[in-house]
Amino acid sequence: MIDLANIFLQVKEITLATGAFIREERKKFSTDKIEYKGLNNLVSYVDKTSEEMIVKALEEILPEAGFITEEETINKTGERYNWIVDPLDGTTNFIHGIPTYSISIALHEYDEPVLGVVYEINLDELFYTWKGEKAYLNGHPINVSGNKTLGESLLATGFPYYDFDKAEQYISVFKELMQQTHGLRRIGSAAVDLAYVACGRFDGYFEFNLNAYDVAAGAYLVKQAGGTIHNFTGGDEYINTREIVAGNGFTGDNILKITKQYF
């Protein structure tokens, strides 16, 4: 059995160091450094360098572990353990100077999460959890909200930006929830959205066209903070289906009542 508490302390140092690098690079970042992976899918040297820093350090912690990473700077699959890494979630925000972007790191044992870390860089907020522990924000335990009224809920979402096949269904869900809640926010980092559900700032969150590295750490935080995670039809598989509904139980169930109508 690996010592998850000790591993977390090492991951924390890696995350904070990489966050400091990203923060400094933002001060001198130029838009001529932007590359395109696809339609509206942006990347920069900061994403790639950050991932290389994280991967190199994580390999020293668990040499046998594999990786699932956004920038694919390493090709390695572990039999038992795999790190799931987004070195800069919210790249578009970063490029445009909008101060919400994060680092997301999860560790899976086989197909089950055992550790999750999300670091919101600009606010210096470290959300974390591991198997057998509570979820925390900067050392303080966190929980999902206790709100049981959808009409008083604040939800988060994300807009499709390159795959628009389900845009009409999404707009229908968005329209219904827009009218039934305090509002919906789109802050541009799925990892932060989920961390904010975990600590009760958002009462729920839904989005599609997501990848494992977008949600692995944040979804585990929500679960460890007492929340629920499903796909749009209510199933437990949210990574391979690339869609997610997160909530405090009540809100998640009520979002699902709507997503099930359209997806």
**Per the annotation, does 237 bind a ligand?**
no
Per-residue model confidence as pLDDT tens digits over 170-189? 999 999 999 999 999 999 99
pLDDT of residue 38: 54
Above 90 in pLDDT, residue 166? no
Q: Specify the CATH architecture of the domain 150-262.
A: 3-Layer(aba) Sandwich (3.40)
Q: Please compute the mean of the pLDDT values over residues 219-225 and round it to a whole number.
A: 98
**Per the annotation, does 86 bind a ligand?**
yes
Residues of the chain with CATH 3.30.540.10: 4-141
Regarding beta strands 136-137 and 125-130, do their DSSP bridges make them parallel or antiparallel, or are they unpaired? Answer: antiparallel
pLDDT of residue 135: 98
**Per the annotation, does 176 bind a ligand?**
no
**Per the annotation, does 16 bind a ligand?**
no
Q: Please compute the mean of the pLDDT values over residues 102-111 and round it to a whole number.
A: 97
pLDDT of residue 21: 97
pLDDT of residue 40: 45
* CATH number at 4-141: 3.30.540.10
pLDDT of residue 167: 87
Task: Sheet containing 66-69: give its strands across.
Answer: 66-69, 81-89, 102-109, 112-120, 125-130, 136-137, 140-141
Residues of the chain with CATH 3.40.190.80: 150-262
pLDDT of residue 205: 98
pLDDT of residue 132: 97
**Per the annotation, does 193 bind a ligand?**
no
Helix axes 212-224, 190-198, angle to 10 degrees: 0
Global confidence as pTM: 0.95
Stated as kind and residue range, the H or E segment containing 156 is: strand 154-157
Per-residue model confidence as pLDDT tens digits over 77-87? 999 999 999 99
* Residue 129 pLDDT level (bands cut at 50, 70, 90): very high
